[in-house]
Structure 1
Amino acid sequence: MTPDRPIGIQEHAMRFGTYMGIFWIIKFIFLPLGFKIPLLQLLFILGTLFVPILGYLYARKFRNTYCNGTIPFFRAFIFTVCMYVFAAMLAAVGHYLYFRFIDQGFLFDMYRQQLNEAKAMLQGELATSIDQLMLAFDTIASLSPIQLTFQLITQNVFYGILLALPTGLLVMKYKK
């Protein structure tokens, strides 16, 4: 980077996306551990709910620190989308490593076990719905680690784009 060139939106999105991606990896660690320690499952859920708040905080910091306190909607939207894309790419590395080397079917087995327990308590249409859900889980469980990773990265980018819309609206600020 040359001293006369200001840092662009992409570099800032990479930086904040890295922070977000690290947060997602740490949050993801709580998912399988939560089957053994329920408090960690709660932390996973709370971490997931905190993601849009963290995205807003990062976008606001970008606006206030690097954009002199003003940012149009489209620039805020693009920054937020890029940030989520970079976070999803980093989290994908963690997802792949987990599913390739650590999981060995644990996560899907635990979900199947919970669904079987729920099915045993239910009757009629609800039990049929659980059977359909179990078929969907079997399909997902049959994916390779790389296929699961691509599925998760696509999902994270999609939700990132959806979250970027309200974040862009909340962060935008024009000169008075």
Structure 2
Amino acid sequence: MPTDKPITLQEHAMRFGTFMGIFWIFKFIFLPLGFTIPLLQLLFVLLTLFVPVLGYIYVRKFRNTYCNGEISFFRAFLFTLYMYLFAALLAAVAHYVYFRFIDQGFLADSYLQQLESIKASAQGEMVSSIDQLIQAFDTISSLTPLQLTFQLIFQNIFYGILLAIPTGLVAMKQKKRF
């Protein structure tokens, strides 16, 4: 028996968040590969910079397709926030699998090697700054895969909140009144 229940904002955000999460997983693949093929690291950065653009595209599509071309700032903000939340949860599964079964310390070791090589040619204040970064990466490398995954979830949600504000402002569109 079909129901005529309208699909909610959360359900649409979940759908678009799934697409965003798949995109995040795809781009995450380029992060570790970028240490052996530097062009892939550049691709990772470019895809990361594309995330807010993709978020805007999704909220605009939601506005035009499901909201009759108009959406308030709060509704656009909420949709974007939910979308990033659902994307973060999906990407967290891939992050956990990667850090638990695949990484074995590769990312932290790679960053530490790069920092050590930079430190060798650094002078003055730069050396102490690099030492601080090395200590931070030592701390990060001591985290369990589950702790790393939760750290990335919270980071993605935090940046999602920050990105939802300008996205909501740019995507909002009110009915023109004459």
TM-score by length of 1: 0.98
Q: Give the equivalent residue in structure 1 for 2:155.
A: 155
Amino acid at match of 1:66: Y
Question: How many residue pairs are counted as aligned between the two chains?
Answer: 176
Q: Give the equivalent residue in structure 2 for 1:31.
A: 31
Q: Deviations over 1:114-135 (max 9, x none)?
A: 0000000012110111011100
Q: Deviations over 1:82-119 (max 9, x none)?
A: 00000000000010000000000000000000000000
Q: Give the equivalent residue in structure 2 for 1:134.
A: 134
TM-score by length of 2: 0.97
Q: Distance in 1 between matches of 2:2 and 2:105?
A: 48
Q: Matched residue of 2:164: which SS?
A: helix
Q: Matched residue of 2:70: which SS?
A: coil
Q: Distance in 2 between matches of 1:85 and 1:141?
A: 25
Q: Give the equivalent residue in structure 2 for 1:74.
A: 74
Q: Give the equivalent residue in structure 1 for 2:123.
A: 123
The reply on whether 1:106 has 2:106 as its aligned counterpart is yes
RMSD of aligned alpha carbons? 0.9
Q: Distance in 2 between matches of 1:12 and 1:109?
A: 40
Q: Matched residue of 2:104: which SS?
A: coil
Q: Deviations over 1:23-74 (max 9, x none)?
A: 0001000000001111110110000000000000000000000000000110
Q: What is the percent sequence identity of the aligned residues?
A: 75
Kindly state the Cα deviation for residue 3 of structure 1 after the two structures are TM-superposed: 3.0
Q: Matched residue of 2:130: which SS?
A: helix
Kindly state the Cα deviation for residue 2 of structure 1 after the two structures are TM-superposed: 4.6
Q: Matched residue of 2:71: which SS?
A: coil
Amino acid at match of 2:78: I
Q: Distance in 1 between matches of 2:175 and 2:132?
A: 54
Q: Distance in 2 between matches of 1:79 and 1:98?
A: 29
Q: Give the equivalent residue in structure 2 for 1:92.
A: 92
Q: Distance in 2 between matches of 1:105 and 1:98?
A: 11
Q: Matched residue of 1:36: which SS?
A: coil
Q: Give the equivalent residue in structure 1 for 2:65.
A: 65
Q: Matched residue of 1:7: which SS?
A: coil
Q: Distance in 2 between matches of 1:142 and 1:2?
A: 52
Q: Matched residue of 2:157: which SS?
A: helix
Which sections of structure 1, spanning at least 5 residues, go unmatched? none
